Amino acid sequence: MAKRKDYAGHEVDFVVLCNKAVEELIQVTFAQSMAEISERETKALVKAAKLLHKPSGTLITWDVEHQAAINDVIITYTPLSKWLSTHHNNHA
CA atoms of 87 and 34, how far apart (whole Å): 23
Supply φ then ψ for residue 76, to 5 degrees. Answer: -105, 115
Q: 85 vs 13, 32, 38, 50, CA distance in Å? A: 20, 18, 25, 28
The pLDDT score that the predictor gives to residue 1 is 47
Residue range 26-53, pLDDT digits in tens: 999 998 999 999 888 999 999 999 999 9
Give the model's confidence band at 70: pLDDT under 50 very low, under 70 low, under 90 confident, else very high: very high
The pLDDT score that the predictor gives to residue 40 is 87
Give the chain's mean pLDDT: 86
C-beta of residue 65 within 8 angstroms of C-beta of residue 79 = yes
The pLDDT score that the predictor gives to residue 87 is 79
The pLDDT score that the predictor gives to residue 5 is 53
